[in-house]
Structure 1
Amino acid sequence: MSKVVLVTGASSGIGKAIASFLHQKNYIVYGTSRNPQHVTDVPFKMVALDVLNTVSIKKAVEEVITSEGRLDVLINNAGKGITGPIEDTPTEEMKSNFDTNFFGPIEVMKAVLPQMRKQKSGKIINVTSIAGYMGLPFRGVYSASKGALELITEATNMEVKKLGIDVVSVAPGDFATNIASGRYHTPVFEESAYKEKYAENLALMDNHVDAGMDPKVMAKAIYKIIKTKNPKIHYKIGGFMEKFSIVLKRILPDTWYEKLLMNHYKL
């Protein structure tokens, strides 16, 4: 029997690549978007889902379960970028980012868990970020929201493991997607104490994304995890230096690691 997979944020980027690849592998795939009627270039089914709206989430999950009778895999991919110095970034934008990147995925997990408990099986894959393993300058809020989702993944996995459900995180590094266009960018204020360095780093971030890996790499990694009987809790998918940076944080003194990051970001 083909597994039924729900992929949030599947209208573009990594989510679209994952959903398309799993469709090719003969999974029954449902992608989500706030406006699925505008997504016409995908081979899989689309349903309306807004991670900021619990009614929308429950309706989308119910639609999949009603159509297929089960739900085997949730890929919590929908997310949003945010940049800016902490001092200059509006608090409301910080809260909005956590609503999308942290509370939204939690609400989707809550919606699918009753069906997975009923089946006594299921996998939840939370897409986080390598940025969630370290506080990056001018991306502190994004790092914090993804890091928080990493910890929720650990906690939830322990709570549901005896019920036959696995909850894992997959942290991508820089991938060539359109994520930069959807970010909230705190303006470069003329009077800001961070004006010059923030402007330089905005350009640096965009260059990293443009030179990033093919999203199909992420799709293949997700496919492998779905097929793994006893998956790890955390996976990192990215370039060697991106993954090595996490190792360095574990082994270097805090001040040494901070110095490496500051040199990288020219601070």
Structure 2
Amino acid sequence: MRRDGKVAVVTGASTGIGQASAKALHQAGFRVFGTSRRAVASTLEGITMVTCDVTDDASVTAAVDKVLDTTGRIDVLVNNAGMGLLAGAEESSVDQAQALFDVNLFGVIRTTNAVLPIMRNQKAGRIVNISSVLGLIPAPFSALYSSTKHALEGYSESLDHEVRTFGIRICLLEPAYTRTSFEQNMVLPDRSLDAYVSARMRSSALMHEVMKTADSPGVVAEKVVEAATTTSPRRRYTCGKVARQVSVLRRFVPERMFDKSLRKQMGLPA
């Protein structure tokens, strides 16, 4: 379903899932504005890049105002900007945890709060939040990252109930491993502990191996377009075969069996 003339904003659109989503939305007929923390030249036809640091209230407001001044409307917001952290929970300081939440959760809240008055005035809008299968399941050395995604899921579900009467819907996308620069840019612990180094390195090696057959960003971008354009959106969209399998297993496999399987796959003792 095309949306010619309508406007979409995609955060974190300079690379990876954000860039693929911006391209897919443009191909679906949207006028697309992509954001990046640092100023970058737009290299994709039909996509205008705007500087926006999602951890800064003034920067978010300025970016949204720029889009609104240019187009007069915002129909879709894709909250994709995020950062990863591979660390044992004990290996991160509170400051590092707060920095992670400031991007992955509070960044979403800032951009969402900035566009909601516009969408309420339009009596229509769609907000697509990029979550993760780690918003559904635990993973060793991803306690804090997974926490941001679990929080994002609760926020998104609750918000959807609050704004639905205004013609606005909130959707969650849950990809598994995806071939982007996300892994290379992942933050490491700021207070590494010898007790966890060996197991964390095994977890990192497993991630590198899985990435060889991971989904392309286009798999997620297809679901972004579906969530943004369908008349009756689902609350959650799993992205790719692995994500669908994980979602089913989490719902139907007994907890103890799921726990045992997860530890085996991650190379942890039973």
Do Structure 1 and Structure 2 share a fold, with TM-score over 0.5? Answer: yes
Deviation at 1:52, TM superposition (A): 0.3
CA–CA separation in structure 2 for the residues paired with 1:252 and 1:221: 26
Q: Which residue of 1 aligns with 2:96?
A: 93
Match of 1:251 in 2: 252
- Whichever residue aligns with residue 156 of structure 2, its letter is T
1 CA distance for matches of 2:84 and 2:55? Answer: 15
Equivalent positions of 1:1-267 (< 5 A) are 1-36=4-39, 38-43=40-45, 44-186=47-189, 189=192, 192-239=194-241, 241-267=242-268
Runs of 5+ unmatched residues, structure 2: none
Question: Hey, what's the Cα distance between the residues in 1 that align with 2:197 and 2:53?
Answer: 34
Give unmatched runs, 5+ long, in structure 1: none
Bigger drift between 244-253 and 175-184 goes to 244-253
Paired residues in the alignment total 264
Q: Deviations over 1:148-201 (max 9, x none)?
A: 101111000000000110011111111110001221112794x61122111111
CA contact (8 A) 1:7 1:19 kept: yes
CA contact (8 A) 1:88 1:192 kept: no
Q: 1:93 to 1:73 in 2, by over 3 A?
A: same
**Which residue identity does 1:7 align to in structure 2?**
V
Tell whether the 8 Å contact from 1:23 to 1:29 is kept in structure 2 after alignment: yes
SS at match of 1:97: helix
Counterpart amino acid of 2:43? D
Counterpart Cα distance in 2 of 1:178 and 1:66: 32
Report if aligned partners of 1:175, 1:213 keep a CA contact under 8 Å in 2.
Answer: yes
Backbone CA RMSD of aligned residues: 1.5
Matched to 2:246, the amino acid is S
Q: Report SS of the residue matched to 1:205.
A: helix
**Fraction of identical pairs, as percent:** 35
Would you say the 8 A contact 2:10–2:80 is kept in 1? yes
TM-score (norm 2): 0.93
CA drift of 1:246 comes to 2.3
Distance in 1, matches of 2:38 and 2:223, equals 27
Inter-partner Cα distance in structure 2 for 1:27 and 1:196: 47
Give the structure-1-normalised TM-score.
0.94
Q: Is the 8 A contact 2:127 2:228 kept in 1?
A: no
State the Cα distance separating 1:220 from its structure 2 match.
Answer: 1.5
Q: Are 1:130 and 1:243, in contact at CA under 8 Å, matched by a contact in 2? A: no
